[in-house]
Amino acid sequence: MKPLRIAHVGPVATSIPPPKSGSVQMMASLLNEGLVARGHDVTLFATADSVTSSKLHSLFPHGYWHDEDMWPWELYEMMNIAAAVERAEQFDIIHFQAAYYPMGLPFSRLSRTPLVQTLHHSPDADEVALWKRYPEAPFVAISKEQASLLEGQNVAGIVLHGIDTDRFTFRPTPDEDDYLLFLGRFTEGKGVLQAIEIAQRVGMRLILAAAEEPYYREAIAPHVDGRQIVYFGEADFDAKVKLYGGARALLYPIQAREPFGLVLAEAMACGTPVAALDRGAVREVVDDGVTGIIFDDLEAMIGGLRRVFNLDRQRVHDRAVERFGIFRMVDQYIEVYHRIIDAHRKAVR
Amino acid sequence: MKPLRIAHVGPVATSIPPPKSGSVQMMASLLNEGLVARGHDVTLFATADSVTSSKLHSLFPHGYWHDEDMWPWELYEMMNIAAAVERAEQFDIIHFQAAYYPMGLPFSRLSRTPLVQTLHHSPDADEVALWKRYPEAPFVAISKEQASLLEGQNVAGIVLHGIDTDRFTFRPTPDEDDYLLFLGRFTEGKGVLQAIEIAQRVGMRLILAAAEEPYYREAIAPHVDGRQIVYFGEADFDAKVKLYGGARALLYPIQAREPFGLVLAEAMACGTPVAALDRGAVREVVDDGVTGIIFDDLEAMIGGLRRVFNLDRQRVHDRAVERFGIFRMVDQYIEVYHRIIDAHRKAVR
């Protein structure tokens, strides 16, 4: 099959891959490098401090997360998309990572080349009602859960995120110093208060790893005693891998309906089983009874936590690698690209 | 001359004309109706509750100022611009009123028809540095002052705003109950504290007319005694005309460098002379010694206020009508459109 000429448009908030955190940037980088590895002709539209083996088309030296004079940020994003659309005839497909909202829509009918967007959040009904003004514009959903919110849109494919499973070192046994782990942003929706309640009621240590935010100081810090409930701070990549691998289980008592759950895949890749509430995309990411256990509510999770500990960590790891390896994601995107390009050719004919 | 086919793209924040305040919407409406009156084929891209004698292309029933579910507002604006650019071949020119920032730039190279933008704020150097990525994209500046900030951009014309001078009733003599007037938003930049100081030092009454905002409650309200310093509230159109016409002078001790000064033109149309500080576009709007007096600083204004009172109100009015009538603005825009269309034809050839 002929290599595809792909314009891959990342957000210009920070570099790709990101210097620290930035899940959209990390995913964009993995996909980008994977597409190159599969032999495609890829041009990444991103900040000049991005690092890639593809071609790099950069309008800006660095991202607006690092420079408050880069305002309004939307105009920077729009110009980055426009740079690809203005060169549409040089590409077979333009792929925009819609980190905040699908800004690619208003450009889609002005592009000679089909423009597909990966959506990274759970849209509400009012947003989707607006997007229906471009019902033909293709989206990639990152889960069935997210796709179910996209009624009236053209969902060209559902592709779960991949992670760099090689970098999430497998640990056959957790630390002797037993602990549970909560990792993620401190928000109500992430269920950090519920994680604390679980730890307290089962009498186990809980390590909280996330950046300190107002919500932490207001709602979480009063529960942190440094003995049973321990605050680690924000973990960089290496610390994250150690924290995952050493934990008996990752607690994921998620309250919001999230479109994915990257920490689930990451913990599982380290061999650490997850205890998750049945919300949002959890059922698509966790293989119930294999890589973790999915509970209906907090009481069930507290009662069933021991069953999570008994899951086979080797099997957890193997399944995670199989399901969340980079090339599963990359190859699914290539399929989606071909599907969109073929449909476009037929429509134009 | 053949009528022009004009796509006039307004903001979709509220209707055109606006139900209450909204200077961009008011200017857009006056221009739009004036273009129709001059025989052009105009399509206004605006909310469905807009009122116009031109064609109306509306994507949205109402504006995002009135509906918090219309979020993010930028996407609404982008879709409204895109609707015009998608139909570019039906128009000779597309004119976008850039109420917040020139969102039309990223669409300009994707449009078959030239896209011109009127800028409604004073951009800082970082903004303009970004816009230079589209150095060919034409702008209309609303004053020389604003144009001077647009280094590196293509300023296709400078067109001062027009106002509906017929609706600003001329008053040959002010109210017997002598007062000075401050009208405008309560912000530091507008110089409302300076207006209060002037009134106190010359021992005259001052009426403040603007919407109550946090800055009013914090900084202004303590000075309001209801006798010398009077707070009127937010004035609707009729009240505004009465307040202008009855005042001995409009105080305009502006602190910020503003790109225009609509209240100056409005007061002058009512025959009321203005006392203004020499900042921003003031010298372009006020004819020094005819429609008002321009002072270097507050002390000079306090010392010279009597000279403002002595200006001939009939002459103030006549000059305002001559300089800020709708058709002066409309005809200048038509000239600018022709200039841009001709340049575009030559470039394409």
Model pTM score: 0.94
Residue B123: cis peptide before it, omega within 30 degrees of 0: no
Q: CA-nearest residue of chain A to B126?
A: A69
Chain A positions touching B111 (Cβ under 8 A) are 110
Tally of CB atoms within 10 A around A248: 21
Interface residue ranges in chain A relative to chain B, Cβ cutoff 8 Å: 59, 69-72, 74-76, 78-79, 81-82, 85-86, 100-103, 105-107, 109-111, 126-127, 130, 133
Sheet order of strands, B41-45 included: B55-57, B41-45, B5-9, B93-98, B115-119, B138-141, B154-158
Q: How far does the CA of residue A284 sit from the closest CA of chain B (Å)?
A: 29
Cβ contact A56:A50 at 8 Å: yes
Percent of chain A with pLDDT over 90: 97
- Nearest-CB residue to A126 (from B69, B126, B127): B69
Q: What b/e string do you get for B246-268 counting C-beta neighbours within 10 Å, with b at 16 or more?
A: bbbbbbbbbbeebbbbbbbbbbb
Give the pLDDT confidence score for residue B348 in this predicted structure: 81
Nearest-by-CA chain B residue for A100: B72
> Which pLDDT belongs to residue B315?
98
Nearest CB among B74, B110, B130 relative to A82 is that of B110
Closest Cβ–Cβ partner in A59, A110, A127 for B133: A59
Tell me what pLDDT residue A80 has: 98
Contact A107 B110 (CB under 8 A): yes
Tell me what the pLDDT averaged over chain A comes to: 97
pLDDT band at B144 (very low <50, low <70, confident <90, very high): very high
CA distance B162 to chain A (A): 29
Average pLDDT for B176-180: 95
Give which of A9, A64, A75 to mutate to test B binding, by max B Cβ within 10 Å.
A75
B57 CB neighbour count, 10 Å cutoff: 17
pLDDT at B13 over 90: yes
Instruction: Please state the three-class secondary structure of chain B as a single string.
Output: CCCCEEEEECCCCCCCCCCCCCHHHHHHHHHHHHHHHCCCEEEEECCCCCCCCCEEECCCCCCHHHCCCCCCHHHHHHHHHHHHHHCHHHCCEEEEEECCCCCCHHHHCCCCCCEEEEECCCCCHHHHHHHCCCCCCEEEECCHHHHCCCCCCEEEEECCCCCCHHHCCCCCCCCCCCCEEEECCCCHHHCHHHHHHHHHHHCCCEEEECCCCHHHHHHHHHHCCCCCEEEEECCCHHHHHHHHHHCCEEEECCCCCCCCCHHHHHHHHCCCCEEEECCCCHHHHCCECCCEEEECCHHHHHHHHHHHHCCCHHHHHHHHHHHHCHHHHHHHHHHHHHHHHHHHHHHHC
User: B-chain residues within 8 Å CB-CB of A82?
Assistant: 106-107, 109-110
Q: Distance from CA of residue B153 to its chain's centroid?
A: 21
CA distance B110 to chain A (A): 6
Contacts of A106 in chain B (CB under 8 A): 75, 78-79, 81-82, 107
Kindly tell me if the per-residue pLDDT of A349 is higher than 90. no
Spatial strand order in the sheet of A274-277: A229-233, A206-209, A180-183, A249-252, A274-277, A292-295
Size of interface A-B (CB pairs under 8 A): 74
**Banded pLDDT at A21 (limits 50, 70, 90):** confident
- Has the ipTM of the complex gone over 0.85? yes
Share of chain A above pLDDT 70, in %: 100
Q: Which of A71, A101, A109 is opposite residue B72, by nearest beta carbon? A: A101
A229-253 residue pLDDT tens:
999 999 999 999 999 999 999 999 9
CB contact under 8 A, B79 and A106: yes
**Are residues B79 and A107, on separate chains, in Cβ contact within 8 Å?**
no
Q: What is the pLDDT of residues B150-159, one digit of tens each?
A: 999 999 999 9
**Is a pLDDT exceeding 90 seen at residue B128?**
yes
In this structure, the dihedral spanned by the alpha carbons of residues A70, A72, A74 and A75, taken in order and rounded to 10 degrees, is -80
Tell if the CB–CB gap between B103 and A75 is shorter than 8 Å: yes
B126 CB neighbours in chain A (<8 A) are 69-71
* Cβ distance of A107 and B69 shorter than 8 Å: no
If you ran DSSP here, which 8-state letter would residue A3 be given?
P
| Interchain proximity B130–A79, CB inside 8 Å | yes
Q: Is the pLDDT of residue B229 over 90?
A: yes
Kindly report the nearest CA distance between residue A76 and chain B, in angstroms. 8
Q: Which residue of A has its CA nearest to B124?
A: A69
- Nearest neighbour of B110 by CB, restricted to A100, A105, A110: A110
The minimal CB distance from A69 to the residues B103, B107, B126 is found for B126
On the question of pLDDT at A20 being above 90, the answer is no
Facing B86 at nearest CB: one of A72, A101, A109 = A109
CB B239 within 8 A of CB B247: no
Question: In chain B, whose CA is at the least distance from the CA of A109?
Answer: B86
Q: Are A110 and A88 in contact (CB under 8 A)?
A: no
CB contact under 8 A, A75 and B107: no
Per-residue model confidence as pLDDT tens digits over B15-54: 999 998 889 999 999 999 999 999 999 999 999 999 999 9
pLDDT recorded at residue B26: 96
Query: Which chain A residues are within 8 Å of B48, Cβ to Cβ?
Result: none
Q: At what angle do helices B23-37 and B326-348 cross, to 10 degrees?
A: 80
Mutation target vs A (from B96, B126, B130; most A CBs, 10 A cutoff): B130
Residue in chain B closest to A69 (alpha carbons) equals: B126
In the prediction, which pLDDT does B31 show?
98
Determine, for residues A130 and B85 on separate chains, whether the beta-carbon distance falls below 8 Å.
no
Strands B154-158 and B138-141: parallel
| Tens of pLDDT, residues A125-172 | 999 999 999 999 999 999 999 999 999 999 999 999 999 999 999 999
